[in-house]
Amino acid sequence: MTKRYRESIEEVELPTTGDDGAAAPTAFTWRGNRYQVLQVLGHWREDPGWWRRPDGEPVQIEQTDLWRVEAANGRPTRGVYEVVRRGGTWRLDRVWD
């Protein structure tokens, strides 16, 4: 089962070398808890684009990178999390139990 959060991530740690915009996070902080990424289960990219609102006004959408990762926060259990970067902002999108 999955639960959707779409909440901001306070801090994201990235590899120290070669961040080409698609580097997977190595750790993140969400709701005051630090999660260490144990394994990247998947990565995909949604290219930038644009849409139109019902009134015809164009809306720009930035490139979005999504990672599904297995992570732990020091407790005995591990979880699967979907971490999203759109432009310069990060959010936690989903959690699987």
Percent of the chain with pLDDT over 70: 95
Q: What is the pLDDT of residue 94?
A: 96
φ/ψ region of 95 (left if φ > 0, alpha if ψ in -120 to 50, else beta) reads beta
pLDDT digits (tens, 9 = 90+) for 19-68: 556 789 999 999 999 999 999 999 999 888 878 888 988 888 899 999 99
Taking the domains of the chain in order of start, what are their residue ranges?
2-96
This prediction has a pTM of: 0.84
